[in-house]
Amino acid sequence: MKKSTLFYAALAGAISLPCMAQDIHFSQFTQTPLAVNPSLAGTTIWIRGSVHYRDQWRAVTVPYQTMMASFDIKTKRRWIKIKHETEKYKQSTNEGLGWGVNVYKDKAGDGEMGTLQANLNVAYQIRTGDKSMIAAGLNGGVIQRSINFEKLYWGSQYCPTCPNGYDPNIALQNPPDNNNFIVPDAGGGVLYSYKKSERYMRGSDQSELSLGAAIFHANQPKYSFMGSNERLYSRIVAHGQGAFGISNTNLVIVPAFLFAQQGPNQEILMGSLFRYMLKEDSKYTGFVKGSSVSAGGYYRNKDAFVAAAMFEFASYGIGISYDINISGLKTVSTGRGGFEITLRFLNPAPFIYSQASFGS
């Protein structure tokens, strides 16, 4: 085989899997709203910030490490005086403009193939009734891709007389000259939300539901280290989340699903958490802070079971999850998939106001 053929075959083997794979993703997808749908930007009336870390395939190879930071806020609030109440008691219509930013970084494999992406998200929410809302959003930003070719194995470095049949000191023939590039990125999405508050204090019979769809990489940017015309597939997402209280108990069922299609690759993730209220917020003084603990899991089709848990206190939340691998790779991974942790902050509301938390 010609050395040039070996070179390109080795390069294809080194980079084809990440290029054809889906975008980086998180198992705790309900805590990464801007990575799921840009129309979720500002869909609470409070400030929302979060950081996420995922460590995957440590049992198989050099671990794939993914980090993300996200922030969004509503910039417009409309307040309505509640009938027959003093002026200090008001409620928000929860409609208007929201915006957010999210940045994530990923590093994968021996070649340290990296992705750094930053996006600005803008959304507008309109109430369609006392309990429902629709939203539409856009995002735009840049993607930077990088790779360390020197840490990869190449056909031109094959050495039959060497002890291991390979000599990393052999200079590469016709090495690629592009190990770093930046491309623009754009997408958009829509969202429908419904919320019915509990009928009376401690009734715990509230219902929330949100359904949305989004497209990422709508512009299909060029995505090749070799300068070819290969492009990044658009990613189509459909998602939903609910929260259904069991009347006169402290238990809330929080089901969720996510479907993503990107070129030939598909991801289906569904399951539920069960949230137990340890303590409710003080509705009037605000001195007593609420807390809850959640546990449950998700199933990623033909890939993994995800065990997940979350603890929330006042404005803060910490979530952890672990992927138990069930794919064909389980023979090598022995079931060990990925560990993930989330830290979240929500700016608290004055407790004299009515809170509407679509998508939070």
Residue 123: Cβ-neighbour burial (10 angstroms; 0-12, 13-18, 19+): buried
Instruction: Give the 3-state secondary structure of residue 182.
Output: strand
Residue 275 above 60 pLDDT? Answer: yes
pLDDT at 331: 53
Compute the distance between CA of residue 245 and CA of residue 129 in angstroms, rounded to an integer.
Answer: 21
Residue 300 above 90 pLDDT? Answer: yes
- The mean pLDDT of 38-63, rounded to a whole number, is 80
CATH of the domain at 128: 2.40.160.40
Residue 269 · residue 32 · CB < 8 Å: no
Domain for residue 183, yes or no?
Answer: yes
Compute the distance between CA of residue 338 and CA of residue 330 in angstroms, rounded to an integer.
Answer: 12
Domain for residue 360, yes or no?
Answer: no
* Other C-beta atoms lying within 10 Å of the C-beta of residue 63: 17
Residue 245 · residue 213 · CB < 8 Å: no
Domain for residue 307, yes or no?
Answer: yes
Domain for residue 217, yes or no?
Answer: yes
Domain for residue 357, yes or no?
Answer: no
Which two structure tokens, joined as six digits, stand for 31? 């805590």
pLDDT at 290: 76
Residue 269 has phi, psi (to 5 degrees) of -130, 125
Q: Residue 97's domain spans which residues?
A: 3-346
Domain for residue 353, yes or no?
Answer: no
Residue 58 per-residue DSSP state: T
pLDDT at 336: 66
pLDDT at 351: 30
pLDDT at 237: 98
Residue 254 above 70 pLDDT? Answer: yes
Residue 334 above 60 pLDDT? Answer: no
Residue 110 above 90 pLDDT? Answer: no
Which two structure tokens, joined as six digits, stand for 41? 């930007």
- Least confident range from 34-43, 249-258, 342-351: namely 342-351
Per residue in 21-42, pLDDT tens?
Answer: 357 789 999 999 999 999 999 8
Question: Based on the structure, what is the number of domains in the chain?
Answer: 1
- Least confident range from 63-72, 90-99, 202-211: namely 90-99
The pLDDT > 70 percentage for the chain reads 72
The single-letter code of the amino acid at 234 is S
- The mean pLDDT of 286-308, rounded to a whole number, is 85
Domain for residue 210, yes or no?
Answer: yes
Domain for residue 359, yes or no?
Answer: no
